[in-house]
Amino acid sequence: MGNGGSGSTASHFCSDLLKTAIIENKNRFQVSSLTDNMPIISSWANDVSYDKIFVEQLKNSLTKSEILIGFSGSGNSKNIVKGLEISKEKGAKIK
């Protein structure tokens, strides 16, 4: 997850894991970018709050066996911080 340029970095990182990081005869990564679904992002931002665009997506499927990676240039983006907080609460690893 990320905003602006960091959102692009998050999308690119997912793309690399889904294609470039494939090793023959090995398990593949299961990844998704929370920045890639604009209808979901805009609906949560409009109906609830931009601060919760990632939290609300994570509530749908995050499990403790997952790793959440947040990209932020400032480190202070409320929606990134909230996403990391819910992930920690659910026992997922955060980076």
- Taking only the tens place, the pLDDT of each residue in 21-35 is 999 999 999 999 999
pLDDT band at 95 (very low <50, low <70, confident <90, very high): confident
- Phi, psi angles (nearest 5°) of residue 92: -75, 155
Tokens of 47: 């109906």
What's the whole-number mean pLDDT along residues 70-78?
94
Nearest C-alpha neighbor of 1 from the set 37, 25, 28: 37
27 neighbors 57 (Cβ within 8 angstroms)? no
Structure confidence at residue 56 as a pLDDT band (50, 70, 90): very high
pLDDT at 93 (0 to 100):
92
pTM above 0.85, yes or no: yes
Q: For residue 67, list its beta bridge partners.
A: 93
